[in-house]
């Protein structure tokens, strides 16, 4: 096969293109009505009261920490197996970041490790569980711990739009203060770049709206002095320019119409992978019975003691065969920046074991069964030599 098969890829329809053209021909390219329509559509889909669209999921995580008033030297905990933004958002607030090792089956934050760490006495201000690959964490039990120990919860659902937990959509915030989604092109739906925060808390919602736009309000009820007129605004706090555009929101609205279709196809392909890969020296992704993943990623782990090749050799041979495998993720605590903060190899053994054997193989809406057969046959070839 000569064509390159990436690990993830957006699907853009003519309807999506038309939606963007319509915005480009309108009076509002940014700060217009399409953003609110997109926010409401996401809120309705997730079954949550409020949604705030932002320029990226990273911006969403940062604003969420600010809205919960994470401060200097306070603690934020998250999983080591995530993109660095899940931890960096705490450092942006001058907080201290630590990690909770992963569950060896789901690869999500381990309830057992979290409970052990809480019993040691240092209680975080915020815990950020990461729904890796589209599978929700056991968020109800994390919530129960939050009620016992007094921490707040931000769900990093960057991978998990369209996923379900206990029969309800991820993002409904039943068991969290806030949830953050990503709409990067490799995600399940895309706005090019962009993200969204959901919450049921009106105070947090109002604060997020201000922080997204420089800390500015035009609401007379929030102002500290008499309203001067229609031109008047006040900066009430230090915010950021983390806005999304109407162009992006128009694309997102159009993509949202096909979200369930996208997720359905990913679930079909994931189940097909499960069948095709069942007899290979691999560990396939375990799915917790309370979850229904949206399958942003399909992660395999090599049984290195049963094959003659190294992790790197398998990765490179797949790449040479035009299969764009990737690895999600290098444990955050192994990054040089975090090692300079005092983290070391060996700090989170399960995450490091996962890193030494895992690969993400291609999974996206336009992946064909022929593509999938080629990937599986190539992998079989590589592992049999």
**pLDDT tens sequence across 295-333:** 999 999 999 999 999 999 999 999 999 999 999 999 999
Fold category of 5-256 in CATH: 3.40.640
- Kindly report, as residue ranges, where domains of CATH 3.40.640.10 are found in the chain: 5-256
Q: Tell me: the pLDDT tens digits for 154-169?
A: 999 999 999 999 999 9
134 Ramachandran zone, left/alpha/beta (phi>0; psi -120 to 50): left
Percent of the chain with pLDDT over 90: 95
Q: Are 331 and 109 in contact (CB under 8 A)?
A: no
Q: Tell me: the pLDDT tens digits for 108-138?
A: 999 999 999 999 999 999 999 999 999 999 9
CATH number for the segment(s) 259-384: 3.90.1150.10
**Confidence band (pLDDT; 50, 70, 90) for 1?**
low
Q: Where are the alpha helices (DSSP H) in 150-245?
A: 202-212
Three-state SS string over 369-383 comes to HHHHHHHHHHHHHHH
CA 87 to chain centre: 12
Q: Are 161 and 293 in contact (CB under 8 A)?
A: no
Structure-token pair, residue 74: 């306070």
DSSP string, 290-329: TEE---S-EEEEE-GGGSSS-HHHHHHHHHHTTEE-B-S-
Give the per-residue pLDDT at 214: 97
**Above 80 in pLDDT, residue 281?**
yes
- Kindly report, as residue ranges, where domains of CATH 3.90.1150.10 are found in the chain: 259-384
Q: Are 155 and 142 in contact (CB under 8 A)?
A: no
At 25, is the secondary structure helix, strand, or coil?
coil
Q: Tell me: the pLDDT tens digits for 15-45?
A: 999 999 999 999 999 999 999 999 999 999 9
How many degrees, rounded to 5, is the angle at CA 53 between CA 48 and CA 56? 125
Give the per-residue pLDDT at 230: 85
Give the per-residue pLDDT at 367: 98
Average pLDDT over residues 209-238: 91
Structure-token pair, residue 117: 């760490």
194 Ramachandran zone, left/alpha/beta (phi>0; psi -120 to 50): left
**DSSP state, residue 148:** H
**Above 70 in pLDDT, residue 231?**
yes
Average pLDDT over residues 336-347: 98
Instruction: Find all residues with CB under 8 Å of 174, minimum gap 6, and list them.
Output: 168
Of the candidates 66, 64, 68, the one whose C-alpha atom is nearest the C-alpha of residue 52 is 64
Q: Tell me: the pLDDT tens digits for 45-65?
A: 999 999 999 999 999 999 999
Of the candidates 87, 77, 85, the one whose C-alpha atom is nearest the C-alpha of residue 127 is 77
DSSP string, 351-368: HHHHHHHEEEE---TT--
**Above 70 in pLDDT, residue 240?**
yes
Bond prior to 41 in cis (omega within 30° of 0): no
Average pLDDT over residues 275-279: 98
């Amino acid at each position: 096969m000569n064509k390159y098969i990436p690990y993830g890829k957006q699907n853009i329809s003519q309807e999506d293109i038309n939606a963007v053209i319509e915005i480009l021909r309108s009076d509002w390219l940014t700060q217009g009505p399409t953003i609110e329509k997109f926010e409401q559509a996401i809120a309705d889909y997730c079954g949550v009261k409020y949604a705030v669209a932002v320029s990226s999921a990273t911006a969403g995580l940062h604003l969420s920490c600010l809205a919960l008033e994470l401060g200097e030297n306070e603690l934020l905990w998250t999983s080591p197996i995530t993109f660095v933004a899940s931890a960096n958002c705490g450092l942006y607030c001058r907080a201290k970041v630590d990690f909770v090792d992963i569950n060896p089956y789901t690869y999500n934050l381990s309830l057992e490790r979290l409970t052990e760490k809480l019993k040691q006495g240092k209680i975080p201000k915020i815990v950020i569980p990461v729904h890796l690959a589209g599978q929700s964490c056991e968020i109800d039990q994390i919530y129960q711990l939050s009620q016992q120990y007094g921490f707040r919860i931000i769900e990093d659902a960057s991978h998990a739009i369209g996923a379900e937990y206990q029969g309800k959509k991820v993002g409904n915030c039943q068991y969290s203060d806030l949830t953050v989604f990503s709409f990067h092109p490799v995600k399940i739906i895309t706005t090019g770049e962009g993200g969204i925060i959901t919450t049921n808390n009106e105070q947090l919602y109002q604060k997020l709206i201000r922080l997204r736009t420089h800390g500015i309000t035009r609401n007379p009820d929030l102002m500290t002095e008499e309203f001067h007129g229609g031109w008047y605004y006040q900066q009430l706090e230090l915010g950021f320019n983390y806005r999304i555009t109407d162009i992006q929101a128009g694309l997102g609205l159009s993509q949202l119409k096909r979200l369930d279709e996208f997720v359905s196809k990913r679930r079909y392909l994931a189940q097909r992978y499960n069948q095709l890969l069942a007899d290979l020296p691999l560990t396939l992704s375990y799915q917790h019975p309370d979850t229904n993943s949206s399958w942003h990623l399909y992660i395999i782990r090599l049984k290195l003691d049963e094959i003659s090749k190294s992790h790197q050799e398998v990765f490179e041979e797949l790449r040479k065969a035009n299969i764009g495998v990737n690895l999600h993720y290098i444990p955050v605590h192994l990054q040089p920046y975090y090692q300079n903060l005092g983290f070391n190899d060996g700090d989170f053994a399960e995450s490091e074991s996962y890193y030494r054997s895992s690969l993400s193989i291609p999974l996206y809406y336009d992946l064909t069964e022929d593509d999938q057969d080629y990937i599986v046959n190539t992998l079989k070839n590589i592992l049999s030599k």
